[in-house]
């Protein structure tokens, strides 16, 4: 999911949602309309999304960030590790080592080498590819505009046109990916911001010449397309064409699509950028710390062993966020209204309908997931937090104590080289091939790990384009959760490497399945660590940490989804005040966290820093979907399901070429059945049962 990251962005975020390449470059980190990290791209996975407002996450774009730890909230992943984990995971990076003092203890860490895309923003290849993309877009317009319906029965000619479209998407995707990744390396650098803005504008202008393409493909008669698809060259694109067909009822005419596309730069795109740059610039004055902190190190205090540090961090967050609530309220109101306008024009009735379409998942499936998770709140989060309060010697946990470490096991600092070894060893235990692919990220500097001033917050894995390779961004601080974030993002990376063989149009996995490899990678790492642990206190800490991560990924994300539904439904009735939004936020928090959590003053503004709400509306349920799916999938693995490893790799290699029902069928799993979700939730409940048994023995 976007777990595209753990203590950082998911992104990701993945990172996303589904968004066009152009919009994706702005939001690799935060994803826009559909995900909690704006990845929005329409579900059309091409250069332009004619149905851009539909699903905003380009299939070839950057994934939204994951919530992180209170961040788990912070991005509660979303990726502190996952939105669940961090209310956001966005935090800005602390001045390397100076804020945390961890530099020497973490050891040397890699910073990514973007030269595999371009040597730099001034590289002649950048200007060359922009010119090439501009020329090719015009050629395609002159060659095919107004003519696609006429060649609808000719499979060979249609395949030739789509192949050219895909090749152009590759060029534009490479440019957009480089601009976004280069910018995320230092968002405070005005030269980088200008380069990203200029590149985004150029790609938007180029793609305007191509808006006709997917619209006209959908005008081809069904009978003609059925005949054309018999041609082998076109048959490989059938899954993409089938997905495109699903967008047809919500597409507008070409002029309106062009207007939506171009106005996106000054409407949603501008407000997304305003949010990102505001969050990066915020500073938090923490009692006892001389210099103000950026978001990431401030959120990091919420997992500190000392209660006074956690409280100071939470109060600093509340103070600064309150000072900026008016701006965040304006951004939220504007983007929610922008989405409502798009939904209304396209014919989407439900506030989350466009997200479901982009995710290629049916609304009843999502409704069943949400209902199952909400019904499980008492046996999951309510039960666990009541137990944790006792461990910490409290009647109730203040909201800043929710992610506190256990008293018996203070968290140690894990040097980078040890984190690498832990994850690669866990991956190798499942498949040497998986470990070998992951090792390339370390050896070839496809990872940017250290915290730096100006660097994007959170964590994500970005696939770039099939002709290149993925990149992973982390803000590694040496906590055990950071190790799990590394495992998570590398899972995304492995998935993206394997799916690349499908080509750009078919390699992008729907968000509901995009978290499969990432969460599975985390589970492999967790289980490997658990097997090696013999000390009862260490085992308890490991299981409790995993339970918290799963609660943050499942319970928290569904609570976030419920909050978004309430917010967008209320916005349809008129503009919302900061107090109204805070009331909606607090209502879902009370329901999901339970009576053992006391939300102190200040928590009512914590909704403001979660990027998924801004960049990728309704993206968050994909985290819960992925976590429950992986729980069921891992259970099959532990049952020694016949040919599991081979089937698992086949699923990852399929990318976006198959529906979730086709991908899960070989494992005997069906997401449309209520027991599927219960099976996943039972895994979490079973771990809480084990913690209770440990308490009884103690």
- Tens-place pLDDT, residues 199-233: 999 999 999 899 999 999 999 999 999 999 999 99
Q: Do 188 and 42 reside in the same domain of the chain?
A: no
Average pLDDT over residues 86-109: 51
Contacts of 239 (CB under 8 A, 6+ apart): 506, 656, 657, 658
DSSP for 661-674? Answer: HHHHGGGT--TTSH
Q: Do 120 and 98 reside in the same domain of the chain?
A: no
* Confidence at 66, pLDDT banded by 50, 70, 90: very low
Q: Do 140 and 33 reside in the same domain of the chain?
A: no
Task: Report how far residue 127's alpha carbon sits from residue 104's, in angstroms, rounded to the nearest whole number.
Answer: 40
What residue numbers bound the domain in which 87 lies? 1-112+259-698
Task: Report how far residue 155's alpha carbon sits from residue 224's, in angstroms, rounded to the nearest whole number.
Answer: 9
Give pLDDT, residue 410. Answer: 57
Task: Report how far residue 606's alpha carbon sits from residue 398's, in angstroms, rounded to the nearest whole number.
Answer: 14
Give pLDDT, residue 610. Answer: 94
Q: Do 252 and 266 reside in the same domain of the chain?
A: no
Find the CATH number of the domain harbouring 155: 1.20.140.70
* Confidence at 457, pLDDT banded by 50, 70, 90: confident
Average pLDDT over residues 471-477: 96
Q: Do 317 and 174 reside in the same domain of the chain?
A: no
Strands 397-398 and 72-76 come out as unpaired
Task: Report how far residue 541's alpha carbon sits from residue 127's, in angstroms, rounded to the nearest whole number.
Answer: 53
Contacts of 604 (CB under 8 A, 6+ apart): 582, 585, 586
Give pLDDT, residue 698. Answer: 66
Q: Do 573 and 590 reside in the same domain of the chain?
A: yes
Strand partners, 219: none
Give pLDDT, residue 598. Answer: 97
* Confidence at 98, pLDDT banded by 50, 70, 90: very low
Find the CATH number of the domain harbouring 351: 1.10.1370.30
Q: Do 275 and 355 reside in the same domain of the chain?
A: yes
Q: How far is CA 252 from the centre of its chain?
A: 28
| pLDDT above 60: residue 347 | yes
Q: Do 229 and 142 reside in the same domain of the chain?
A: yes
* Confidence at 5, pLDDT banded by 50, 70, 90: very low
Give pLDDT, residue 57. Answer: 33
**pLDDT per residue as tens digits for the range 386-407:** 999 999 999 999 999 999 988 8
> Is residue 472 within a helix (H) or strand (E), and if so which, with residue range?
strand 471-473
Task: Report how far residue 490's alpha carbon sits from residue 511's, in angstroms, rounded to the nearest whole number.
Answer: 16
| pLDDT above 50: residue 31 | no
Of 225, 258, 291, the residue at which a domain comes to its end is 258
Of 231, 258, 285, the residue at which a domain comes to its end is 258
Residues 141, 145, 148, 150, CA torsion sign: negative
Closest CA to 217 of 127, 164, 265, 149: 149
* Confidence at 532, pLDDT banded by 50, 70, 90: confident
Strand partners, 85: 76
Q: Do 516 and 558 reside in the same domain of the chain?
A: yes
Task: Give the count of domains, the chain.
Answer: 2
Average pLDDT over residues 630-639: 90
Q: Do 86 and 191 reside in the same domain of the chain?
A: no
Give pLDDT, residue 160. Answer: 97
Of 236, 258, 280, the residue at which a domain comes to its end is 258
| pLDDT above 80: residue 314 | yes
Residue 68, helix vs strand vs coil: coil
What is the residue-averaged pLDDT of the chain? 85
Closest CA to 405 of 540, 607, 600: 540
Highest mean pLDDT range out of 293-302, 506-515, 578-587?
A: 578-587
Q: Do 459 and 562 reside in the same domain of the chain?
A: yes
Contacts of 501 (CB under 8 A, 6+ apart): 466, 507, 653
Q: Do 594 and 664 reside in the same domain of the chain?
A: yes
In contact, 30 and 5? CB cutoff 8 Å: no
Contacts of 120 (CB under 8 A, 6+ apart): none
Q: Exposed, middle or buried: residue 591 (CB in 10 Å: 0-12, 13-18, 19+)?
A: middle
Q: Which residue has the higher pLDDT, 585 or 52?
A: 585
Q: What angle do CA 37, 38, 40 make, to 5 degrees?
A: 135
| pLDDT above 70: residue 561 | yes
In contact, 509 and 444? CB cutoff 8 Å: no
Residue 551, helix vs strand vs coil: helix
* Confidence at 568, pLDDT banded by 50, 70, 90: very high
Average pLDDT over residues 111-122: 97
Q: Which two tokens stand for residue 661?
A: 């029902």
Average pLDDT over residues 180-192: 95
| pLDDT above 60: residue 467 | yes
Contacts of 3 (CB under 8 A, 6+ apart): 10, 11, 12, 13, 66, 77, 78, 79, 81, 82, 488, 489, 491, 492, 515, 518, 519, 522, 553, 623, 626
Give pLDDT, residue 411. Answer: 65
């Amino acid at each position: 999911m976007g777990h595209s990251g753990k203590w950082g962005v998911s992104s990701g975020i993945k990172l996303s949602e589904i968004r066009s390449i152009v919009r994706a470059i702005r939001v690799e980190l935060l994803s826009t309309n559909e995900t909690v990290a704006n990845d929005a791209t329409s579900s059309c996975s091409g250069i332009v999304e004619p149905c851009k407002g539909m699903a905003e996450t380009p299939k070839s774009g950057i994934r939204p960030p994951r919530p992180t730890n209170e961040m788990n909230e912070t991005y509660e992943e979303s990726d502190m590790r996952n939105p669940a984990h961090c209310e956001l995971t966005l935090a800005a990076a602390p001045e390397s080592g100076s804020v945390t003092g961890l530099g020497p203890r973490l050891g040397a860490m890699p910073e990514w080498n973007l030269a595999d895309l371009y040597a730099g923003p001034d590289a002649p290849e950048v200007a060359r590819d922009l010119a090439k993309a501009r020329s090719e877009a015009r050629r395609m317009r002159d060659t095919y505009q107004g003519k696609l319906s006429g060649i609808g029965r000719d499979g060979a000619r249609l395949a030739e046109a789509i192949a050219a479209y895909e090749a152009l998407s590759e060029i534009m995707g490479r440019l957009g990916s480089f601009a976004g990744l280069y910018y995320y390396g230092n968002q405070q650098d005005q030269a980088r911001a200008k380069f990203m803005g200029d590149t985004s504008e150029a790609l938007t202008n180029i793609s305007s010449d191509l808006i006709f393409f997917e619209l006209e493909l959908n005008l081809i008669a069904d009978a003609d397309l059925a005949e054309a698809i018999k041609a082998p060259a076109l048959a490989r694109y059938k899954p993409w064409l089938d997905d495109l067909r699903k967008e047809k009822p919500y597409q507008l005419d070409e002029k309106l699509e062009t207007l939506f596309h171009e106005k996106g730069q000054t409407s949603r795109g501008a407000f997304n950028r305003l949010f990102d740059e505001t969050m990066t610039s915020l500073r938090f004055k923490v009692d006892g710390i001389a210099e103000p902190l950026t978001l990431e190190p401030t959120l990091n205090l919420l997992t500190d062993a000392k209660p006074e540090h956690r409280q100071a961090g939470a109060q600093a967050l509340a103070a600064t966020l309150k000072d900026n609530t008016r701006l965040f309220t304006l951004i939220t109101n504007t983007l929610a209204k922008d989405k409502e306008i798009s939904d209304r024009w396209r014919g989407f009735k439900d506030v989350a309908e466009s997200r479901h379409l982009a995710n290629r998942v049916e609304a009843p499936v999502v409704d069943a997931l949400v209902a199952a998770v909400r019904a499980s709140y008492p046996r999951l989060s309510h039960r666990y937090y009541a137990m944790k309060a006792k461990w910490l010697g409290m009647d109730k946990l203040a909201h800043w104590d929710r992610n506190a470490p256990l008293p018996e096991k203070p968290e140690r600092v894990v040097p980078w080289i040890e984190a690498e070894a832990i994850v690669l060893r866990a991956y190798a235990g499942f498949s040497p091939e998986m470990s070998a692919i992951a090792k390339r990220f370390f050896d070839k500097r496809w990872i940017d790990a250290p915290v730096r001033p100006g660097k994007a917050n959170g964590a994500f894995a970005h696939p770039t384009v099939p002709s290149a390779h993925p990149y992973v961004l982390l803000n590694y601080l040496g906590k055990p959760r950071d190790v799990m974030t590394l495992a998570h993002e590398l899972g995304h990376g492995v998935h993206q490497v394997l799916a690349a063989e499908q080509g750009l149009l078919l390699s992008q996995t729907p968000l509901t399945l995009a978290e499969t490899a990432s969460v599975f990678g985390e589970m492999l790492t967790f289980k490997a660590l658990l097997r090696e642990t013999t000390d009862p206190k260490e085992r308890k800490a490991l299981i409790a940490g995993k339970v918290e991560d799963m609660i943050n990924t499942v319970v928290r994300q569904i609570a976030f989804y419920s909050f978004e539904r309430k917010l967008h439904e209320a916005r349809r009735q008129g503009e919302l005040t900061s107090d109204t939004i805070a009331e909606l936020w607090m209502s879902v928090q009370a329901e999901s966290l339970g009576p053992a959590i006391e939300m102190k003053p200040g928590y009512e503004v914590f909704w403001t820093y979660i990027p998924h709400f801004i960049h990728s509306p309704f993206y968050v349920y994909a985290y819960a979907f992925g976590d429950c799916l992986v729980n069921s999938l891992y259970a099959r693995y532990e049952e020694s399901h016949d040919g599991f490893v081979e089937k698992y790799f086949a699923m990852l290699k399929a990318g976006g070429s198959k529906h979730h029902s086709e991908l899960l069928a070989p494992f005997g799993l069906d997401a449309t059945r209520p027991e599927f979700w219960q099976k996943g939730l039972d895994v979490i409940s079973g771990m809480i049962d084990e913690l209770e048994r440990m308490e009884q023995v103690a």
